[in-house]
Structure 1
Amino acid sequence: MSLLEKDQQEVQKLDERIHVVGIGASAGSLEALEHLFEHVSTDSGMAYVVVQHLSPKFKSYMDELLAKKTKLSIQHIENGTKLSANQIYLARPRTLIELDGEYFKVKELKEQKSLTYPIDHFFTSLAKERREKSIAVVLSGKGNDGSLGIVNVYESGGTVIAQQASSAKFDEMPVHAIETGKVDYVDTPKNMSSIFEKVSQVQKEQLHFSNEEATDQVIEQICSFIQRKSGINFTSYKRATILRRIEKRIQVNQFPFYRLEDYKEYLIDHPEEIVSLQKDLLINVTEFFRDQAAFEVIATQVIPALINQKIEQREHDLRVWIAGCSTGEEAYSIAILIREYLDKVNEHFNVKIFATDLDRDAIATASTGSYGDQAIVGVSEERIMRFFDYDGATYHVKKEIRQMIIFAPHNIAKDSPFVNVDLVTCRNMLIYFQTDLQQKVLSMFHFALRKDGFMFLGPSETIGKLTDLFEPVHHKWKIFRYIDSTKRDYSNMLRVQKTTRTEKQVGAKSFVPYQEANPSQKPLTPIYETILDQFASASLVVNHENEIVLTGGNVQKYAKLPIGNVTFNVLKLVPVNLSIAIGTALKKVRIEEEDEVSFDHIQLSPDEESEYVSLTVKPLTIGNDKSASLCVILINEEKPDSTIQAITEVRQYDHDQNIHQHIVDLENELAYTKETLQTMIEELETSNEEYQSTNEELIAANEELQSSNEELQSVNEELVNVNVEHQNKIKELTDLNNDIDNLLISTTIATVFLDEHLNIKRFTPEVTKLINLIEVDIGRPLAHLSHNLVYNQLIQDAENVLSTHHKKEKTVQSQDGRWYRLRLHPYRTKENFIRGVVITFLDITEMKELNETMKIQSFALEQSPASIMIVDQNGIVDYVNETYEKNMGLSRLDLKGTSIFDIYRNEQTKISLDESWKATKQGQRWDGTSLYVTRSGEERWEDVTFMPILNESYQIQQFLRVAEDITDKRNAENLLRKSEMLSALGEMAAGIAHEIRNPLTALKGFLQLMQADSASNQQYLGIMSNEFNRIELIINELLVLARPHAVTFEAGSVTTILKDVIMLLETQAIMNNIQLIHSFELELPDIECCDKELKQVFINIVRNAIEAMPDGGNIYISAGLVNEKVELTFRDEGKGIPKDRLEKIGEPFYTTKEKGTGLGMMVSYRIVQSHQGVMKFDSELGEGTTVTIQLPIKQ
């Protein structure tokens, strides 16, 4: 069963499994692994398996090194290890691992000569077991291990990721992986974690492109859609590249199909997807100085060679063509290198760098010369300072570099090349082209280069079979030099393809230079421009096979395309007479090396009325170079009776003579060719036998060398890995040692290190203030040195720590009066051995003084009679003092972390709190009076100051609330005010009562006489009698106020008094549909009281409650013991009393009843006060009124 065939049951089980990320890594992969795991989430739900080429002769520190970069658990793989999510598994050296369900199987490898591929082995197992849940990652390394395994992962529906070659220390493994065409993503290790997440969240669709579906016809149809939309023809792109991009579009967008034909139909209905696919196919991956080592070769070998040659030839023009420049980083990199070398040799050159790309958006970005922080990572600090301007967010290339470059949109597959260039760079673009287009582009580069010019390709690109055009300068970095090849055929390169142009492209400017070009100027191809400069007639340019590569003027008049198979051979396109003349002239130019051959009076056809033309043939000259392989044919129409003037000799054309000579030349050429061919065949047969024998020997030798090379490669990779790990360890130790040295020098903590014999090992400069140490004392016993401490047990304590392995801490004082915290710790190694003692002295003098100051301030704060609270900027309580706790009846634990707005919830308190909070938030101080409610429900008043606490920068850090309880003071003031009012009222009442009583007595007597005399006046007399009685009642109350009599206080029971009052008023309550409900605590203590006066108070309160409920209801009467006082409450269900009127109850003549006098409650207040009690009123509108009386118990 193949990897692509699994039954439905296994597929369903697979969906429930976790993703497994297999990571293949070899030489130079440590840094890549660190970057990868540094960004991996700890709860990704995936398992990570790292397979490396490791040597068993050296210990691997990979687990320790990775542990510094990730919090994921790391373990080595053993046979039977179970697979779990969020774990990193490391393969051991010389083992082959594979998955068997949820467990690992490990095969130990013995020493053997053949090369093993552990990464391929695991990837193949991963594909088989996990299928769509498999992710294969190929990181830095030599060789091609992993390339076979990723094919299996890819074909099984898994995801394949390769490290970006430019970020890999050794790019062979990633490059080989990419070349398989089975890589889904190419990126840097630090970006791979986001790919993992995307794959895990959106399961990759199974895209099966069968042989029938993925036909060239369908792909070419898709390419034609793109060409009609954008004018770009992708038919010469590698099929694998196109398919991968289509697959990616389907996967990323989660399209509801997975057939290529379906995607084609989707493009027809969704033209916007065509644009997106085109952008995906235009792969813009570049960076500054990509492959630093390669650019170092360009800087030290190529550019100096070009410029020095120009200086010797006394030329000062330098032309460079950057093909596929993308967003411009490579072009600017080359420009910087040229500028640096010109500055070095103090020369001024006219430098023109033509940077071209098919992607117009990329060209637009490149022409701005602006890049973010990430883009210039590969640029040194010196170059950034020298060649960039920074505006705080973006780096801008300086004008002197930007002016060297002309950015232009250019289709390398169909547009004419630049010519006479000294350097062509085309990096990592050819790898996406098919072989034919690669060869064509390379031929174009050869045509574009000057003699001794250079070509710079990507590390994965080659020149193929064109070894006759270029010679290698640097094999690794693919730098080549131009080879002069006069017989090279450029016809295929120069032939213009038939393309479709979009409206956007018509009339568009070809170049985007730093200074905008004149729109009226249209650049011409260099060859055509040269022809127009030198000639002014109908003209053709032909190659060495006589094929037309360029035309000018009215050529259509003389050259006609034949019907059927098309040819571009000029001798087959022009009339016979003209063909013979052209063939003769070309022979003389090429073989006899004449500079120019001209014929006149050539008749185009045998017809007597046929036109006559003159003919000129000469080799094509561009600048100072002459290429014998290209020739210019000029045809001029002869007018009747005209005389042809020529710069060189003009021959009269003899048709018969030239035909005869042409036949003779052809026969001689054929005979020579046959003879040469026979000779070459014989030589080749002889050489072939020799080569065959030699080849067999070389094959045998090559097999032996290959075997040895594989062994050496394996050993080399293992040594590289070991060496990298050791280098990292050495670097860590060096850095750690440097850190310790700098710490000892810079720290202000006095420290001395002692060995096992209490000899000095190291010390900090600060310790010399306490122990008389100098550098030469290292190695001396501590006991031999004097110190400045008021402490004589240092040596004994050090010996004790060394023997007991327990630390000691003490506070000691120096002779100059400073205080130190002395700590003695055992010097413990990583292996848990004790190898000495570490003594530290921490100066705590300022801390000690500060603590004393803070202690005093804390005592003052805690013992303050004011209530103090500190809150943060959100109003959350940070601190309260004891007074606050006492006043509120809440503990600090209850208050800390609570919002101040939750503590003060009373409506009236909230108003003042909002006002004060708003003021303090604005940095102002607020003073005012506020009401608050204690935990027991008691309402109390306080004077409050609320102010911001500022830090050293005068910024608000916290808020301080200081409050003084004024409830008792307020009550005393109210009592005083009422007492003064009562005193004044008493005097006034005595006078009023005296003056009214005498006439009232007389009036009452006459009223009685009137009642006896007349029965008709009885109704009016009754009313008058009631009013007289009411006046008499008022007079009696006034007299009580005016002349308070002596009252005898005796021990009495409140419960008894209340029961008498209830019994007395119960009938009145029932008549008003009111029920008296009482609840008394058992065995309430007695109070000192006058039971008659208290009864008068209680009757007054209950009667007021009855009158407040005209519609009936309940009156609740209760008695209990609260805070060592007897507390009585009377609560009705009347309409209630407004808050603003509550405080006036008890004032003289103030009443809430229609016929009340206000004196009853005033008398009640006076009686309660005479009993050393307190009476309070609380009321809510619509809910009723509660009267609370507190009386002291009998002592």
Structure 2
Amino acid sequence: MDEQIESATDEGFEAILEYLKETRGFDFTGYKRSSLMRRVNRRMHTVGCASFVDYLDFLQVNGDEFGALFNTILINVTNFFRDADAWDFLQSEIIPMVLAERGPDDPVRVWSAGCASGEEAYSLAIALAEAMGIEQFRHRVKIYATDVDEEALAQARQAVYSSRDIEGLPADYVSRYFEHQAGRYSFHKELRRSVIFGRNDLVQDAPISRIDLLVCRNTLMYFNADAQTSILRKLHFALVPRGVLFMGKAEMLLSHSRIFDPVNLRFRIFRKLGANPVAVNSPFNHSLPADRQTVLDRLDELRSLTFAANPVAQIVVTSDDAVALINEQAGQMFNLSERDVGRLLRDLEISYRPVELRSYIDQVRGDRRAVRAKGVEWQRGPGDLLALELHFSPLIVQSGDLVGVSVVFHDVTTTHRLVAELANANRARENAYEELQSTTEELETTNEELQSTIEELETTNEELQSTNEELETTNEELQSTNDELQTINNTLRDRTTELDDLNEFLESILTSLQAGVVVVDQQMRVVAWNAGAEDLWGLRRNEVEGEHLLNLDIGLPVADLRPMVRPALADPAYFERITMDAVNRRGRAVVLRVACGALRNRRGDSTGAILVMEAQDGVVDLIP
């Protein structure tokens, strides 16, 4: 009977998941069933449904319930680098690819749509700063973070998080990108300036344009199919050609979309597709106006002239290593001519100067993705040192075959010189430079930031009120902490006094013994050496403490002590007396009586050995 009830429950629950998939296009089958059932049951209890079947009927009748259900399913999932595997792939593969396809000084624009309380936007900032370096990030990157929830945006703008919020972050990320203050962690203010928060309704508002990387994770699930289609078109418009879209793991519609090309379906990463080319036999080719057809007939000539006139040096190498194209700038820079077209790359000086090209070209062919070579210096002539950055891009036809590799030589000499000059000026005028940099960054904020700035001003009073309340709370916490520290300080002072008295008592015992007392640890290193031992052998305590007993250069034949000390280190019950000849500190021969026993802790284990030494007429029965 119980099995029948459980089977019916499972069927009803699976029917809900299938309904969500069919009507909203989101696949939750990859989630743990126990967790999903618990969260769906929470919604069922709230709306008063007794079974999964009843709740499915409720969903079909009440369209607004989808949003509440999704909020319950995804509760407490907004955190830094959520879905670590997907973020690792984004950091190791996607971000380097995006940066390699852009010039060394080109701006990088990122949009976090549905940013909630800001963890996703700051995760993007960390990932880009790790890939580019903090200075490059500050100069080139703008991250636009939007949401419809004003309360969440207000929290995101503060950029302050608890230790629980950042517990999943690596320790080096926390130390590098956060400042710890009063038990809270605030995102680094210099990097925070590159993250711009603002309200944006994906359904009603216009999208932000010219975006290189767009992150919209688990946001579309709140909309029906028509709204999703409209939003996808806006996201497609927002991206630059071949821009990257990063979706959530529950979203699956884009795998069937004609406007995005999947890069990794498992992690829901896609690239923007442009307009589809018209097929050769397409009926559209037979209805072009005469003047339009004339232009199309001369497309090859136009492409050739455009390539030749490109102000940036560029060559194209075929799949069999032959030089296919050389533009005018490359010819002038590397002394190439039309006679070199068709020759093998390895036969030309450019193949190894200014840098070994063939290794990079082989890498592009193997990985089928763009590669960038930075920091290349070339001594073109006396006093003519050029700094170059090379971009290697695969040329792939529609069938997927790689037909060649494009090599572009960016002359960044001027940029490098300016960077060096700015670095020198920065060392001399650091404070003035920071103010100038802040002003420059503010001037770089264009019309897209203006709307965000206005909205930020509207929430300033609320933020100040919230900050004031937090400061009052912090003051109370500091007062409480101060009282606790005072109590702890008094306790430590009492314990220190007790330890001083105990140490003085133990020291007086060792000092009062006329016999020489030596205590060694498990490694036979001296840990105690009393006045009697100093009188016998002429060495002070600070000269022997920490030294190996058998390495002491005294009149005592220490090598003969090994057979009696070793057992004491292993056997807590060990005790032995011996008599031996020795030479005291005055150089006189004496007959020495030595007693050795184990040094025992409270548990009765041996932690070392005690040696008591005295001349023949002394008393050595001090160890029981």
TM-score, L = length of structure 1: 0.24
- Name the structure, 1 or 2, with higher relative contact order (CA <8 Å, separation 6+): 2
If you compute each CA radius of gyration, which structure gives the higher value, 1 or 2? Answer: 1
Q: TM-score scaled to structure 2, two decimals?
A: 0.42
